[in-house]
Copies of this chain bind each other. A is one copy, B any other.
């Protein structure tokens, strides 16, 4: 991870800059992080406001100027990050290095690719700026515990998701066959879309079975989705419970060699020996 001690320059202004930009222990470092989060939120709000037609018509030029302000600010930040890290390349190809770059590129690209329709597609890239919000997670310590627990469940969740996908393909094919184009099921992919809408209990109602057999299949799909949701919940709960348990128990009693002590334990709870 960029920002870890091995990536920090040993001394000089780069070390101090690194401390401010990448770390949150010192007052100035903390101030920088909080200010950055607010700037990111404000820049996202600007993008949102520009997408609302009345706002765009009334304050278009102002919004675009503010947007350029944010882009220049974040560009300076990106360059400073590159400079103060010892291995600039490792930061550049890290997840947040790429996100930081994607957050400033779209505005610059809109300069080189001018013109009507092209501008519209550039706006697409510009929307990626919202990824900047992802940085929020970087600064919260709790996220790491959650992430570790979720990573431990990735195989089980993969099995679960492939089962759901298989189920959804079969249900989508069945409903396409039973209902047909008359009810809006014009193809198997459309049927699969309906199956996902149903199994996940979202239920838009834009496509819904009309025939009795179709509604019977839908009822089965709903009950399955209703019961299946228990599986990922169970997986995550067990993993989080294990993570919470491991947070507590790392100590082994030097006398009876038993473990399972709470983090606030001073004496072994089995033999009374001082830990």
**A positions within 8 Å CB-CB of B:** 44, 47-48, 51-53, 123-124, 127, 130-131, 133-134, 136-137, 140, 142-143, 145-146, 149-150, 155-166, 169-170, 173-174, 176-177, 186-190, 192-193, 196-206, 208, 212, 215-216, 218-219, 222-223, 225-227, 229-242, 244, 258, 260-262, 264-274
What's the number of copies of this chain in the assembled complex?
4
Q: Are A235 and B242 in contact (CB under 8 A)?
A: no
Interface centre among A150, A206, A261 (most CB of B within 10 A): A206
- Contact of A234 with B237 at beta-carbon distance under 8 Å, contacts A142-B158, A162-B136, A196-B222 already known: yes
Which residues of B sit under 8 angstroms from A262, Cβ to Cβ? 260, 262, 269
Closest residue of chain B to A169 (Cβ to Cβ) is B130
Closest chain B CB from A221 CB (angstroms): 9
Which residues of B sit under 8 angstroms from A190, Cβ to Cβ? 215
Which residues of B sit under 8 angstroms from A231, Cβ to Cβ? 146, 150, 236
Closest chain B CB from A211 CB (angstroms): 11
Can you list 11 A-B pairs with a CB-CB distance of less than 8 A? A52-B187, A131-B170, A134-B166, A196-B219, A203-B204, A203-B205, A204-B208, A229-B233, A237-B238, A267-B267, A272-B273
- Complex Cα spacing A237 to B164, Å: 18
- Complex Cα spacing A150 to B235, Å: 12
